[in-house]
Structure 1
Amino acid sequence: MSIIKDTFVKLKNDVEHFGEKEWHNWGQNQKCAPDEIFRPVNLHDLKKIVKKAKENNKKIRCAAAGHTWSSLSVTNGYLVIVTDLNDIEIQYNERLKTWTVTTEAGVYLKDLDEKLRKHNPPLTLDAATVLNTVTTSGIVATGSHGARCSNSTIPEKVISFQIVTADGELREFSDEIDPIEMNAARISFGLLGIIYKLTFKVEPMFNFIMKDTFPAISDYWKPANLKNDVSNSDSIEVFYWPFNTPGLEGKNDKLWVKTCKRTDLNATESQEEVQLVSAFQNFELEFGDHIYEHLIKFPESTPYITHLLFKTGVEHESEKIIPAPDAIHYQKGIDHIPCMDLEFAIKINHVSRSLK
């Protein structure tokens, strides 16, 4: 933290409030009017909030970018928004023989990616969410998973936490200190206290071969095909976009299959090209949001509009080699379309039974 920031914090008489009275999440399906909303900027603030809550018999919940659809952050007590806790520190861990990065709770993935790219040597997380406008504490505390087929989930990349517990003191959790407690801390949903800092294992930058194909559902949706892609890819996502073929016949519909596989080959696209695609995606989804608003008013147009959007904005078969963070965060502009989500998982060794 800078000297100027430290000095400013010492001169303050209270934690910054910004006069906020209400909070809602990104999807706008959760809203609340807390007794007080706090935006801490350092550890001193966090401790002060917890001690104040204890004195006034208030319960605390936390929020970051607000992308959860659940009521996890909804409270009539104290709401702590952690997005001003944004310091990043990169270290080499001699004991583990690996690079690590320690972030404060409010660091956005897009800022973390940029910091890791500019490091010497360039570094990256090997698992993250598609969204890069979420925070490190937010994706870990909620058990966010990304699309990896193997290796580990995002919380398992964390090797230590610093958490302000209910007594207002800072406590460290790690596998080295207590592996059982560390497992509880990895996906805590805020039950152990307020996350102040968390440390991830990272690795030297690498590239993915990212491939988009659009097979017919009748051809692809078979146990052998799905199992082959899961077994031979680092990540796979299968999307279904209704009414995507001429005549709007469901039996002719296609799937969108996106696979990524790690490679030592050089990138086939420059950063300028990647950024140009990202800018277009932002525009595309911002425009798409207006179309979805039209569908709410005229639901009978849904088959025709979704067919048009699939053909013009989605169905483009491609194969390219790009750096890991660009492949992981392949879709920009998602924030333009607030929505709700339903997901499910299928165990690969049960895939034959699941698809019958």
Structure 2
Amino acid sequence: MSGQVAKAPNLGNKQKNYQFRNWSSTFKCVPELYFRPKSEDELVNIVNLARENHKTIKVVGSGHSPSDLACTNEYMINLDDLNHVLEFDPKSRIITVEAGIRLFQLNQELKWRGIALSNLGAISDQSIAGAISSATHGTGINFGNLSTQVIGLTMITASGKKIHCSEVKDAEIFKAALCSVGALGIITRVTIQCEPEFRLEAEQQPMKLDTILNDLKEIVCSAEHVRFWWSPHTDDCAKQAETIGYFRETILGYHLYQFLLYLTRFYPPTIPRLAHLMFLIKFNKGTLMVDDSYKVFNSDCLFEQYVNEWAIPWERTAEALRKLGQWVRENDEKGIYVHFPVEVRFVDKDDIWLSPSYGRKAHTMFKDELTKAYPKFKDFLELREELDPEGIFLNPYLRRHLLGEYGPKVDAAQFKARL
């Protein structure tokens, strides 16, 4: 009697008791199994294993969301080993990369080929899949978020099937997947339309908040990429970009600022004075820089931060900041202070289903609010149900915010690390 023993599927590197913590150290988790696959085939095997064992999957990158978006108690997948350039057409400047490539790696790969992304955010630690899944954006009134530069992608669904989609092939899946927070499947390949590499001239100058708000339209349209920082508890702003030397940036801008912020936890009334001091150190002197585009787009985020982000019609910027300023002043007496500058960026509209250009950021809202704010939200949920009927790609965060579920099993408190 003879027989064959079935060969176990290749799952790549896997680990038990892995401790995941997001970048801001606000949430943490210990998934049942942590995978680092090196191929799409290994990813398919992991998805099949999860489906057979009734487990859920969460794919993580740099973990830059300050929420529990990346947390799970079951299967976690890291795509860092899927970080290669797969195809490049120098004539059309179209490049296809694996989904785990970090933006700083991608920037180098593009530079070597004489091309660049049209726009970038301030941070390049994210993977390309994570950046587009969360509609990461830079600034520029005529520039969309990073997802708008993507012209095609490949995704593994809950069935283990690979879907190749674009504007002309499975267009609805494509528009949904471009900002899907991991709810539709695992993005494995991304095809990007680039442009010839270019350099940017960036000027930073101190301005008063009222000056910016009174001339906002003219200022926003004065250059391709405009942003400004407002220092709460003051009327001080800094418009656009900067490059400064090691001592001011690293010794004062990083170590001293971080230490002083730590001290304010024990005596919060010093925060307004600190805000004014750090503006004088970091922003009070005008600067001019010319460098490769991605180096100008990027800026050092210094230390771990717990932040939130609001998306509003840019025409209401002045109204929003004036109301926020009023709120800050009214709450000074209550001992409520704003530690960090408010960064204001501008982004063009798009037709991506869950893009914040439709309204507000998904992570600040729940199902009923999302349905009202996003015209395609119902379509997104129907597509999610079609692609993943068993909810393999739903973690507690997505169950709360997309499906409107409540209770201990989906409560963010189970992952809370610290305030």
Look up the equivalent residue of 2:218 and give its one-letter code.
Answer: N
Look up the equivalent residue of 2:216 and give its one-letter code.
Answer: L
CA contact (8 A) 2:59 2:79 kept: yes
**Percent of matched pairs sharing the same residue:** 22
133 and 352 in structure 1: CA distance in 2 versus 1, 3 angstrom threshold: closer
Q: Give the 3-state SS of the residue equivalent to 1:215 in structure 2.
A: strand
CA contact (8 A) 2:15 2:33 kept: no
Higher mean alpha-carbon deviation, 194-203 vs 285-294, is at 285-294
339 and 201 in structure 1: CA distance in 2 versus 1, 3 angstrom threshold: same
TM-score by length of 2: 0.69
Match of 1:80 among 68, 77, 80: 77
Instruction: Tell me the equivalent position of 1:191.
Output: 183
CA contact (8 A) 1:61 1:73 kept: yes
Match of 1:346 among 306, 313, 329: 313
- Cα distance in 2, alignment partners of residues 104 and 279 from structure 1: 38
Q: Deviations for 1:90-141, whole angstroms, at most 9, x for unmatched residues?
A: 5127xxx62122221221111111111122xx11101111001111111100
Task: Count the aligned residue pairs.
Answer: 315
Deviation, structure 1 residue 355: 7.6
- Cα distance in 2, alignment partners of residues 279 and 89 from structure 1: 41
1:242 has 2:232 as partner: yes
Match of 2:236 among 220, 236, 254: 254
58 and 282 in structure 1: CA distance in 2 versus 1, 3 angstrom threshold: farther
Q: Deviations for 1:12-45, whole angstroms, at most 9, x for unmatched residues?
A: 9543124443212111222222221212221122
172 and 24 in structure 1: CA distance in 2 versus 1, 3 angstrom threshold: same
- Cα distance in 2, alignment partners of residues 180 and 107 from structure 1: 25
CA contact (8 A) 1:65 1:83 kept: no
Deviation, structure 1 residue 82: 1.7
Structure 2 unmatched runs, 5+ = 1-6, 323-419
1:293 has 2:262 as partner: yes
Instruction: Tell me the equivalent position of 2:126.
Output: 134
1:209-224 aligned at under 5 Å gives the runs 209-222=201-214
Q: Give the 3-state SS of the residue equivalent to 1:294 in structure 2.
A: helix
73 and 118 in structure 1: CA distance in 2 versus 1, 3 angstrom threshold: same
- Cα distance in 2, alignment partners of residues 339 and 353 from structure 1: 25
Instruction: Tell me the equivalent position of 2:142.
Output: 150
Instruction: Tell me the equivalent position of 1:270.
Output: none
Deviation, structure 1 residue 279: 9.2
Q: Deviations for 1:49-104, whole angstroms, at most 9, x for unmatched residues?
A: 101001100111111000012322122221112222111245127xxx62122221
CA contact (8 A) 1:227 1:351 kept: no
Structure 1 unmatched runs, 5+ = 1-9, 244-249, 261-273
1:71 has 2:61 as partner: no
Instruction: Tell me the equivalent position of 1:50.
Output: 47
CA contact (8 A) 1:208 1:324 kept: yes
- Cα distance in 2, alignment partners of residues 85 and 296 from structure 1: 41
- Cα distance in 2, alignment partners of residues 304 and 169 from structure 1: 57
Q: Give the 3-state SS of the residue equivalent to 1:98 in structure 2.
A: coil
- Cα distance in 2, alignment partners of residues 255 and 195 from structure 1: 39
Instruction: Tell me the equivalent position of 1:176.
Output: 168
TM-score by length of 1: 0.80
Once superposed, what is the RMSD of the aligned Cα atoms? 2.7
Q: Deviations for 1:128-167, whole angstroms, at most 9, x for unmatched residues?
A: 1100111111110011121121132210111111111111
Instruction: Tell me the equivalent position of 1:100.
Output: 94
